[in-house]
Chains A and B, each alone.
Chain A
Amino acid sequence: MSPRTRTASELTRAAGELFTALVPAFDRVFDDLDRLADEMRRIAAGAPGPGLYRDDLYALRHLIFDSLERHRGLVAGTGVITAPDLLIDAPRWLEWWWTKASGTPEELRVNLDPTAPDFFDYATTEWYAGPERSGRRHVAGPYVDYACTNDYAVTLSVPIRDHEAMIGVAAADVLVSSLEARVLPVLAGLARPVALANAAGRVIASNSARCAPGFRVPANARSNAVLGSAATRERADASSIASWVLVDVDQR
């Protein structure tokens, strides 16, 4: 076996291991998001009058708090974000809660006035527009979540549709630091410098000091293995962590 083939097979094996290490945890979060989405659909369908109000979303809170509690240490914030103009009394709205260090859920407040410069234009974010476009589970980031946790995070999101109409997304933030705890034990065992990156080439975690989270994967990186295709080809979904890649970042 040539050194290059050996590297490739080592990468593929590690990619498969990572996929196995991450997917069950992510799936459990996604399952909670599905439950939130179902509840949101139920609320939308059961509204007594024409249209929904912010108050109607209070019924989501017990699910949100349960989910924060269940995924403590992994999920930093979660909730439902309504499609623009869905609610009568708020053209845009986030029923979003996050956990501070103290452990109590805190409601997220952002500026939702489109004329304001600090307008939180969520409909253009990857975590909203991504699942809206694909109709499927989506993992966005990593990015600096300055509106909420002020930390480096990825966002898991699912679209919520009422028949064909988009009524919002259910989403959860996972801090990159808590992902690292699951990723680096796998990468640490590898002899070569490798980085786990998203499909766009942004590093999520790496066993090399020269390639820290947030970096772009070097343009001349040679071999890589897509997580999803390493595990099962059917699951190589461009919008989920199956599209994340393990990249050999050896610069020599």
Chain B
Amino acid sequence: MICDFIGIAFERIARARGWSHGEVGDLAAADQSLDVSLTTMAVRAILTPQDAPSGRAAMIANRLGQAIRLGLIRDREQFPSEARLAEQLNVSTVTLRDALARLREQGLVTTRRGRVGGTFVRAPSDPSAWLGQRLRQLSTQDLRDLGDHRSAIAGTAAYLAAKRAMPDEIDNLRRQVDRLRRAETANERRRADTQLSIEIAAAAQSPRLTHEALRLRAEVGDLMWLQLDEREHAVAVRARTRLVATIRDRNPSLARELAERQVESETARLLELRLRCYSVADAGRRTPRSASDGNSRESSAAKRRRSRAESS
């Protein structure tokens, strides 16, 4: 409680004096880009107008976690004060505190006390472990539907960009593809690709498509790219190079087709990974359970999942 009062009091003083950036400690000093606030774009990706008030803490935790994994909030970045962050995300401080506690449990943030204290981001060092966990929360139907939605957005964005983009916007898209080509880690690749899809939607001159591209990437961008090897990365870069060239050549129908094909292959890839999760989970379950009598509620749920996976 005392901490809260201090936090709020500090926030008031900071506002009165016109400070907007918290004092950064030793950790923050290592990186000059650390500022104690989220980017406007990150806040927009985290919040959507349809957000229902129920389960808001879980939802905010979920979205913040996605934003961390997507790189919109960077590793080691300091979160704003609770009051400021709650204000930015438009939730009560109670809800926010609940959400932060969930993130702490997942190991995505860490809170330190003291003069240089605060809540800091801890991006997962092994994203593939998290990938499996995230994939398991989605059914194959969810993934297919997500693919349909992404296809609609990416396809239309590419179609309209090919109709409307001006030369400086094409140059910008090329720079983004170069960035993707040069990116080395899975993290960098996924973020460069995210940015490319946002820029294509912006070249389509549509704020709505741009917003939707950002939101969809926040939802699934982190599922992509993690398991791509060098050859697959090269294939993806080639596909995007061709898409940008098609936009430059003002061929809207082909641009749509190429963008849709990209989404299709990414969706197929995710479905394969998801199906693999079923077989791995079941293989893991079968062995120990067959030794015991295995008549628990959990095992019947596993059976249901198995039969669903087999029938699809």
Contacts and interface: CB of A to CB of B under 8 A. Distances in A.
Interface of A: 54, 58, 61, 89-91, 98, 106-113, 116-118, 126, 142-148, 150-152, 200-202, 213-216
Among A54, A107, A144, A201: residue with most chain B CB under 10 A: A144
Contacts of B32: 89-91
Residue of B44, B192, B194, B205 with highest tally of chain A CB at under 10 A: B205
B169 to A, nearest CB: 8
Contacts of B72: 118
B114 interface: no
Contacts of A213: 205
Given A109-B37, A110-B39, A214 B191 contact: no
Interface string B136-151: 0000000000000000
Interface of B: 18, 20-21, 31-33, 35, 37-44, 71-72, 74, 163-164, 166, 168-169, 179, 183, 188, 191-192, 194-195, 198, 201-202, 205-207, 210-211, 214
Contact of B168 (A98, A112, A117, A126): A126
Nearest to A58: B18
Contact of A107 (B37, B192, B194, B202): B37
A143 B172 CA distance: 13
Nearest to A90: B32
A145 B191 CA distance: 19
Contacts, number: 91
Secondary structure dominating the interface of A: loop
B164 A111 contact: no
Nearest to B38: A109
State the main secondary structure of chain B at its contact with A: helix
A113 B210 CA distance: 22
A117 B205 contact: no
A109 B39 contact: yes
B191 A109 contact: no
Nearest to A212: B205
A116 B123 CA distance: 15
Most buried by A among B31, B37, B166: B166
A144 B207 contact: yes
Given A113-B33, A117-B188, A147 B207 contact: no
Given A118-B194, A214-B205, A112 B210 contact: no
A117 B71 contact: yes
15 contacts: A61-B18, A109-B43, A110-B41, A113-B31, A113-B74, A117-B183, A117-B192, A118-B191, A126-B168, A144-B205, A147-B41, A151-B207, A214-B164, A215-B163, A215-B164
B206 A144 contact: yes
A221 to B, nearest CB: 15
Contacts of A150: 44, 207, 210-211
A146 B210 contact: yes
Contacts of A215: 163-164, 205
Contacts of B43: 109
